[in-house]
Amino acid sequence: MELKQGIVQLVSQKKSKTNSDMFGLKIDGEWFNGFGVAPAGKGDAVTVSYEKTAYGNSVKKVDIATKATALTRDERIKAQDDRMLGMLISYIKDTRPQIAELLKGKATPQEVEVVAREIVFRDYRAAKIFLDNAEEQTKSDQFVSSDKLVVETIKI
């Protein structure tokens, strides 16, 4: 039997084909699976006793060293804002590498966020205008067939 210590990153709970409860705990990027209800939650510091099987790491016992504390409302909002900022920065790097280079190390996180939101808004607005124009073009390409009196649309 082997031991693994770490912080639970993810918890998975589901039913097996035979309708019995199964759980998965992801610790340091590695999954540990067992039957029953998950004995630990996300953020808990645990020690897992397990055996390596053909089906993965089979949990035999889970000892919880410390339970995770629930995040306050402000902590949840900050975590969500941090994730959004990360996504915006990633978007800038992917779509506007020159702007990303200019901002690197010179702008505050708030300034980066303002720039990122403006870029996303402009891209959204440009895409909406393009789609609206394409829809108008399709409508103008409709004609009435005089012999069948059927409205047909020419696909562009």
Report domain extents, the chain. 2-66, 73-139
Q: Is the pLDDT of residue 114 over 50?
A: yes
Percent of the chain with pLDDT over 70: 81
Burial class (CB in 10 A: 0-12, 13-18, 19+), 110: exposed
Closest CA to 11 of 30, 25, 27: 25
Buried b (16+ CB within 10 A) or exposed e, 113-125: bebbeebeeeeee
How far is 85 from 89, CA to CA, in rounded Å?
6
Q: What fold, for 2-66?
A: OB fold (Dihydrolipoamide Acetyltransferase, E2P) (2.40.50)
**Percentage with pLDDT > 90 across the chain:** 28
Query: Is 80 exceeded by the pLDDT of residue 113?
Result: no
Mean pLDDT of the region 27-56: 92
What distances in angstroms separate CA 17 from CA 13, 24, 98, 105, 124, one per listed residue? 13, 16, 52, 53, 44
Residue 10, phi then psi, degrees to nearest 5: -140, 150
**For residue 145, what pLDDT is reported?**
42
- Mind listing the pLDDT tens digit for each residue in 82-99? 777 777 777 777 777 777
Determine the pLDDT at residue 47.
Answer: 94
The Cα–Cα gap between 140 and 134 comes to 10
Judge whether residue 142 has pLDDT over 70.
no
| pTM exceeds 0.85 | no
N-term to C-term CA, the chain: 64
